[in-house]
Chain A
Amino acid sequence: MKRLRGAPRWPYAASGALAAIAGIAAGHLVAALVNPDASPVIAVGSTVVDATPTPVKEWAVATLGTADKPVLLGSVALVTLLAAAGIGLLARRHRTAAMVLLIGLTGLAGGAALLRPGATELDVLPGLAAAAAGAATLVGLLRLAEPTAAGSAPTAGRGRPQSPLDGSAREAGSPGTAARRSFLLGAAGVGAAAAIAGTLGQKLASNPTVPTAAALPQPQTVLPELPAGLEKRVPGISAFRTPNASFYRVDTSLIIPRVDSGSWSLEVDGDVQRPFRLSYAELLELPMIEKDITLTCVSNEVGGGYVSSARWLGVRVRDLLERAGVGAGADQILSTSTTGFTISTPVQALTDDRDALVAVAMNGVPLPARHGFPARLVTPGLYGFVGSTKWLARLTATTYAKEQAYWTERDWAIDAPVLTESRIDTPTGLQTVRAGKTLPIGGVAWAQGRGIKSVEVRVDDGAWMPATMGPDAGIDYWRQWYLLWTPPSGAGRRTLTVRATDNDGTVQTPQKADPFPRGATGWHSVVVLVES
């Protein structure tokens, strides 16, 4: 039945938009119970991210910075609402077509959820809930909207001559007023219900089962307390142990995976005799060790900050691979994260005595989400990109000939042991120091797998002076160092340079190399200004 030509459009557009809001909220609530990543806006947002060409992604990060995730999700929501408002308007004349389109729109969310890596059939439920809620809301609101339309021109019928009452007319105390009010009440009610459902969904989703520190297993042998570092003696030096909040973060995830440990599992498969799967509870029951390990990112420039150190608790990867029985022909373990990201590690690095771990805790607490909860690979002595997969989901025994991991496809090295490096933390670049006033030059040095034996510092082209070393926490952990220095008067600036020697007696190379493809090398220098 055709509606009146003069019926106002806004209640239809509003109904469409509110139906979308109701659908999104219902979907979000159901997703909280099923799989938070299947929530309509997030599933569609993640699909958009995956489909985005790399240059656009780079631009977005460079321009938006930390606002990139909210802007993306806000844009998806906005486009959805505009489309839904359009569908509402369509419902003004073509009810059936509009309902079909609305179901299609919400179906997109269900489809996107199913396409996410690791999705199960249950992940379609939020989309279905969104479709049902959206359709019901649209029907209900339209029913409230119709009297509003009818009320503005009480005498309906075609062929009637145009009259001033065709526009927004309202008799004093007429039913039109009441009808419009009930539509607005209905709209407000939908808005409120959606807000409650959405907030409830968000609350439920933000609390995946995270164990407390108390629930972590005890390691087989407890390591002694880490010795106190040089922080008190050398203000400005890096802390011997990096607190979790300051630990560097590098990964390819636009949205930090929120993995529910209750539904997570670790698959060990590929060229193995006995593939198996572990739940989080089962992983926590396996024998664990503690290890102090310094991680370094291959992209760390000389003097850069992409290096941090922590005490890790985890299962030896060697134990897991022995349980599976890795085939003799396998030379690579391809690890896959819950996001589908891959890292390749030489088999020998995961089975030798360096004790690579599937870690569940760092510095005494379960892995924070941004550092890989519930479990990650930590391989001492290799740069993170070839051995420290976060949000670990799968270990596959295979060969380098057969499989190429993410960064390998981008021409980074497959064999990437951490290269010896050292860094001056204090004084900082271009800091002004007083001639004649003694101050400490201090910093850190690392050579995972070999350990640091000594560090030397020189001023301008002077002789190399040995630095005093901080405590030694093993060959896979960095060491602090410092040297007391009295700036001589004379020159307005001095260049301080540092170099380290590892336990094999090899002096760090002065040769400058870029991070690509296997890590940066070169001595770190800092220019300080001297005032007399």
Chain B
Amino acid sequence: MTHPRRSAFVAIALALPLGLAACGGSAESSDAGMTNSPSSASSSPTTTDGMTEMAAEPFGAGCAAVPKDGKGSFAGMATDPVATAASNNPVLSTLVSAVGEAGLAETLNTTKDITVFAPTNDAFAALPKATLDAAMKDPKGLLTKVLTNHVVPGKLTPEQLAGDHKTLAGTTITVTGSGEDFTVGKAKVVCGNVQTANATVYIIDGVLLPQ
């Protein structure tokens, strides 16, 4: 309200961060606070040490479709590698079977630090049947090319998302947008910044076909 009240708050505000810094500070850097996070199904000794880039939470209207608990929830997926995490998420079951058909599950699980644009089941359903069939009939060729078109090296944060990115298929995809609104090619990001043990996932509503 007036002068004196503001000054009092300023006095407290000055003391407060110093006090908190004194209490909370320590010589340990970014991974100091990492706890052993038991997964929700069976407690396991894995650490979440790899997740040092947690800036924001997952965003997007499509996030409501992610299970609230269990291995397919955000917390459950955070401690699993990306293909395993996706296999626990009913929204991504078509993608998971395509990845399995292509024999890429283990490779995706063990490659460090990647970003995966994951098309929903509806996205696959919207593809012309002929295209999908042709891909599934050629798992090591066309299907691999289509799937690797969705993977970018490095874990992209929402701040880094907009722009051109070279995919592991050798192609370039362009992401436009900002904040919580992003588009990749013709697809929209419906739930973004989902963390898994080795990858950041952006769930999209369209399949990115390589040119």
Chain A residues engaging chain B, CB cutoff 8 angstroms: 8, 10-11, 14, 17-18, 21, 24-25, 28, 39, 41-42, 54-55, 57-59, 61-70, 73-74, 77, 81, 148, 168, 180, 183-184, 187-188, 190-192, 194-195, 198-199, 201-202, 206, 248-256, 258, 297-299, 301-306, 369-370, 384-385, 407, 410-412, 428-432, 491-493, 495, 515-516, 524-527, 529, 531
Contacts and interface: CB of A to CB of B under 8 A. Distances in A.
B36 to A, nearest CB: 4
A370 B28 contact: yes
Measured as residues with beta carbon below 8 angstroms from the partner, the interface class of chain B is 35 or more
B151 interface: yes
Interface of B: 2, 4-5, 7-9, 11-12, 14-16, 18-28, 30-40, 42-54, 57, 69, 74-75, 78-79, 81, 103-104, 106-112, 140-141, 144-145, 148, 151, 168-170, 195
B42 A180 contact: no
B36 A529 contact: no
A206 B168 contact: no
B49 A65 contact: no
Given A58-B40, A58-B75, A301-B110, A66 B31 contact: yes
A249 B47 contact: yes
Nearest to A522: B106
A109 to B, nearest CB: 11
B35 A187 contact: no
A39 B106 contact: no
Given A249-B31, A429-B111, A495 B103 contact: yes
Contacts of A180: 4
A301 B169 CA distance: 26
Contacts of B18: 191, 194-195, 198-199
A198 B169 CA distance: 54
Given A66-B33, A428-B111, A54 B38 contact: yes
Contacts of B9: 14
Contacts of B36: 250-253
Nearest to A258: B26
A259 to B, nearest CB: 13
A299 B39 CA distance: 11
Contacts of A190: 15
A179 B171 CA distance: 72
A73 B109 CA distance: 35
Contacts of A250: 36, 45-47, 49
B34 to A, nearest CB: 7
Contact of B42 (A81, A187, A410): A410
Given A61-B35, A249-B34, A370-B32, A527 B110 contact: no
A73 B28 contact: no
Contacts of B51: 61-62, 65-66
Nearest to A201: B22
Contacts of A17: 12
B15 A301 contact: no
B54 A59 contact: no
A66 B52 contact: yes
A297 B195 CA distance: 22
B11 A63 contact: no
A430 B22 contact: no
Contact of B195 (A62, A184, A531): A62
Contact of B107 (A39, A73, A183, A525): A525
B37 A62 contact: yes
15 contacts: A21-B19, A24-B19, A55-B40, A65-B48, A66-B51, A168-B2, A188-B14, A195-B19, A254-B35, A303-B109, A429-B107, A432-B170, A515-B44, A525-B106, A529-B168
Nearest to B139: A493
Contact of B169 (A194, A303, A529): A529
B147 to A, nearest CB: 9
B30 A66 contact: yes
A529 B37 contact: no
Nearest to A491: B140
Given A198-B23, A432-B170, A529-B144, A18 B12 contact: yes
Nearest to A9: B5
Contacts of B145: 492
B151 A67 contact: no
B108 A429 contact: yes
Nearest to B167: A430
Contacts of B75: 55, 58-59, 61-63
Contacts of A201: 22
A10 B40 CA distance: 46
B21 to A, nearest CB: 8
Contacts of B32: 66, 69, 256, 370
A198 B15 CA distance: 10
B22 A25 contact: yes
Nearest to A341: B36
B109 to A, nearest CB: 7
Contact of B109 (A206, A301, A491): A301
Nearest to B74: A62
A27 to B, nearest CB: 10
Contacts of A69: 24, 32-33
A14 B11 CA distance: 9
Contacts of B109: 301, 303
Contacts of A198: 18-19, 22-23
B141 A492 contact: yes
Contacts of B31: 66, 249, 370
Contacts of B23: 24, 28, 39, 41-42, 73, 77, 198, 202
Contacts of B170: 432, 529, 531
Contact of B35 (A18, A253, A410, A515): A253
A192 B45 CA distance: 44
A73 B24 contact: yes
A248 B169 CA distance: 31
A63 B57 contact: yes
Contacts of A202: 21-23, 25
